[in-house]
């Protein structure tokens, strides 16, 4: 079956058809580029390890956190979409590096830089696949859909859970106060998974009483 009649195609138009091998190579190039995310260090240490976690580990862990929290979602969510969002949401850090979640300045500039980065990285894929991943990234950033809000709750909660297990390691190292933590994480967690916030609110008060926060 022909979709085009050569006689109807202007002579100055080139139709580019990628071979299966070329498409496969684009996918492999994309996946190997993602390996760089393993080298992006964050500010929180994995439990019982004397090093900082990387962004690839973080993305994997929050994807499983979200899947585990599904029974606590107040509204029905497409968990496959949530997991996909969480797996792509930090890919821009390959170019920009990580910034501690409690940073309160320069956030808009950082997000603009991340958008440039993800467009480059998703651009390694065949166009339809790259566009689909970019749409997921943008939906997460906009935080308006039920799935995006649930994904944000998991993303904001995971560093807190590690700090609670590590007696406030990154809070103490970076001078992060209880008030600053609550101000940054409470709104998105309340919006995405209220049951999770009710749990964390009490744990954070206990951590404050035990002196696990910075100045």
The values of phi and psi at residue 69, to 5°, are -85, 0
Predicted local distance difference test score (pLDDT) of residue 16: 58
Residue 145 half-sphere exposure toward CB, CA atoms < 13 A: 17
Distance CA 186, CA 209 (A): 19
- Tens place of pLDDT per residue across the chain (215 aa): 343 344 443 445 443 567 899 999 999 999 999 999 999 999 999 999 999 999 999 999 999 999 999 999 999 999 999 999 999 999 999 999 988 888 777 778 889 999 999 999 999 999 999 999 999 999 999 999 999 999 999 999 999 999 999 999 999 999 999 999 999 999 999 999 999 999 999 999 999 999 999 97
Asked if 52 contacts 44 with a C-beta cutoff of 8 angstroms, the reply is yes
What domains does the chain contain, in order, with CATH numbers?
A: 56-209 (1.10.3210.10)
Closest CA to 93 of 122, 124, 117: 117
Distance CA 21, CA 26 (A): 9
Backbone CA torsion sign across 28, 30, 36, 38: negative
Predicted local distance difference test score (pLDDT) of residue 100: 81
DSSP state at residue 22: H
| Intra-chain end-to-end CA distance of the chain, in Å | 71
Residue 54: strand, helix, or coil: strand
Asked if 178 contacts 139 with a C-beta cutoff of 8 angstroms, the reply is no
């Amino acid at each position: 079956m022909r979709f085009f009649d050569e006689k109807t195609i202007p002579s100055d138009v080139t139709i580019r058809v990628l071979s299966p091998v070329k498409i496969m190579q684009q996918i492999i190039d994309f996946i190997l580029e993602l390996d760089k995310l393993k080298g992006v260090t964050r500010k929180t240490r994995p439990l019982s390890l004397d090093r900082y976690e990387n962004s690839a580990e973080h993305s994997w862990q929050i994807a499983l956190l979200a899947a585990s929290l599904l029974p606590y979602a107040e509204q029905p969510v497409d968990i496959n979409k949530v997991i996909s969002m969480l797996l792509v949401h930090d890919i821009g850090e390959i170019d920009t590096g990580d910034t501690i979640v409690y940073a309160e300045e320069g956030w808009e500039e950082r997000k603009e830089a991340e958008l440039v980065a993800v467009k480059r990285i998703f651009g390694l894929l065949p166009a339809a696949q790259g566009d689909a991943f970019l749409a997921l990234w943008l939906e997460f950033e906009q935080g308006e859909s039920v799935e995006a809000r649930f994904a944000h709750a998991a993303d904001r909660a995971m560093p807190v859970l590690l700090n609670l297990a590590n007696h406030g390691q990154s809070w103490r190292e970076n001078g992060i106060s209880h008030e600053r933590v609550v101000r940054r994480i409470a709104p998105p967690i309340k919006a995405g998974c209220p049951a999770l916030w009710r749990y964390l609110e009490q744990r954070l008060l206990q951590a404050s009483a035990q002196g696990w926060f910075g100045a």
